[in-house]
Amino acid sequence: MYKTVSRFKELKHDGHVYEVGDVYPKEGTKATKARLEELSTTKNKYQEVFIKEVDKAPDDKE
């Protein structure tokens, strides 16, 4: 699971704007390994990290 750490607009798909804290990719879409790498490293046009991988929180608390 990935969380947005810097606001960006998804130009490669539907123009969706991801705000800081949003889950990436949005529900109902999938991201390629190449796109995840591009957004999670500085290997992009803006040389900025846009998403970070986070541990998925457990759904049920026992």
Secondary structure of residue 40 in the 3-state scheme: helix
Q: How far apart, in whole angstroms, are the C-alpha atoms of residue 61 and residue 2?
A: 22
pLDDT digits (tens, 9 = 90+) for 1-11: 999 999 999 98
Write out the DSSP string of 1-23.
Answer: -EEESS-EE-TTTT-PEEPTT-E
pLDDT digits (tens, 9 = 90+) for 23-61: 999 999 999 999 999 999 999 999 999 999 998 765 555
**pLDDT of res. 59:** 59
Task: Compute how many other C-beta atoms are within 10 angstroms of the C-beta atom of residue 54.
Answer: 11
Specify whether the CB–CB gap between 24 and 31 falls below 8 A.
yes
Q: Which helix (H) or strand (E) holds 33?
A: helix 33-40
**pLDDT of res. 62:** 46
**pLDDT of res. 11:** 83
- For the chain, the structural domain boundaries read 2-53
* pTM, to two decimals: 0.82
